[in-house]
Amino acid sequence: MNSRKVVYLFFSTLLVGSISGAIVGFILDFHVYTEGSFLNLFFGLLWLLGICAAFSLISQMGFFAYLTLHRFGLALFRSQKLWNYVQVILVAFVIFDLIYFRFVAFAEPGETIFGFMVMPILLLIYGLVIAYLKAKGTNQGAFIPALFFIVVVTTIEWVPALTVNDPKWLWLYFTPLITANTWQVLTLHRLTKQES
């Protein structure tokens, strides 16, 4: 992949993450940004674009870290099949962690674990859809790595917001991460013009 394509991937991911996060952030705090003067709206949107750009940069670091980890995993286990099993186990472990540990840390008295299952299960379903699209666009061998990246790497990048457990920050942080990660996964093979 030449430098022009790398630059395109960088800036397009930055744009996708920034805009998606700014839209969600604007909707979440609509009354804050629309009350007062035009400058309040302007600087509010500018702040949203900036903070969401920072989150999409985290997404890009995670993406290139995963590409390195994937190569390391293939070399370590000497078999794509074995490395895929390891990734599936890690996906299951992360989904369990998202449910159980968040329940233990943040559940109010009388609250059941079922409320904490919604978000991780939706993330898993979303990951399965994106992995299917990736495999359809490249080959079946790309399914597990794409699922792992969408579920596990996105969750790792999302940890700062998960530890705070503020619904507004959960969504403001999550939106640029998931859109940027999705964009990178579904764009890379188009840029390299080869099956991955």
Structure confidence at residue 33 (pLDDT): 86
The domain locations on the chain are: 57-192
Structure confidence at residue 164 (pLDDT): 85
Per the CB < 8 A criterion, the answer to whether 117 and 22 are in contact is no
Q: How many residues are present in the chain?
A: 196
19-30 residue pLDDT tens: 999 999 999 988
Per the CB < 8 A criterion, the answer to whether 26 and 48 are in contact is yes
- Residues of the chain with confidence (pLDDT) below 50: 194-196
DSSP per-residue string spanning 26-44: HHHTHHHHHSS-HHHHHHH
Kindly give the interhelix angle for 154-164 and 80-106, rounded to the nearest 10 degrees.
Answer: 10
